Amino acid sequence: MDASCGAPAWQRAAGLRIALTCAKDVVRRTARIPAAAMPRKSRAAIEAEDFRPPVRLVESSPLPVDPPAHLSESMRRWWLDVAGAYILQPHHQHLLQCACEAWDRKTEAAEILRAEGLVITTARGAVQPHPCVEIERSSRAAFMRSLRELDLDIELPSENWKPPPALRSNRRR
């Protein structure tokens, strides 16, 4: 970049190139599209064409509301509760399946963590977090995202779930 472009000396010294900073570069790189390149059609010609929209709206037939067989018993019950309370389109059923699978994965990882502990010792003696810690965390996040996408207004799936204790205010009194 030459000095006439107005770039600071440190940019010129470092060899940094800033695209389209010079007015002459802008003029040089701007191309005019010739009018002949895009022919115009009259209103009559447009109306005479056989116009078909790219997407047709059709009535969707809902998929079967039976829960997948690989889900846990509590998730199958929750699936049936949700399917009975809401009219689910096919994409909602896929989101519901993702939510149920994420919850099952989270509970499985939590059971492993209860049995084996939160940390593991490597072959060299280093203490590391158990891999199931990340599995549980990511599965919980996936479940919450699926719930948010479904926009359900019902109870969480677990019977023993309790809300966290109320936090005291940070404000000084």
The pLDDT assigned to 88 comes to 82
Rounded to a whole number, what is the distance in angstroms from the first to the last CA of the chain? 61
6: left (phi over 0), alpha (psi -120 to 50) or beta: left
pLDDT digits (tens, 9 = 90+) for 1-36: 444 455 555 555 544 444 444 444 444 445 555 555
Q: Is it the case that residue 43 has pLDDT exceeding 90?
A: no
Look at strands 119-121 and 127-129 and give their pairing.
antiparallel
Look at residue 7 and give its three-state secondary structure: coil
The pLDDT assigned to 21 comes to 47
With a CB cutoff of 8 Å and minimum separation 6, the contacts of 5 are 18, 21, 22, 25
Q: Is it the case that residue 68 has pLDDT exceeding 60?
A: yes
The pLDDT assigned to 89 comes to 84
Q: Please give the mean pLDDT across all residues of the chain.
A: 75
Q: In angstroms, rounded to a whole number, what is the distance separating the alpha carbons of residues 19 and 105?
A: 49
Q: How much is the average pLDDT of 89-109?
A: 93
Q: Is it the case that residue 170 has pLDDT exceeding 70?
A: no
Q: How much is the average pLDDT of 28-46?
A: 63
Q: In angstroms, rounded to a whole number, what is the distance separating the alpha carbons of residues 119 and 88?
A: 41
pLDDT digits (tens, 9 = 90+) for 87-97: 888 888 999 99
The listed range with the strongest mean pLDDT (29-38, 55-64, 141-150, 158-167) is: 141-150
Amino acid at 112: I
Return the residue matching tokens 């191309």: 31
Q: Is it the case that residue 140 has pLDDT exceeding 70?
A: yes
What's CA 165's distance to the chain center, in Å?
29
- pTM attached to this predicted model: 0.53
CA 134-135-140 angle, to 5 degrees, is 100
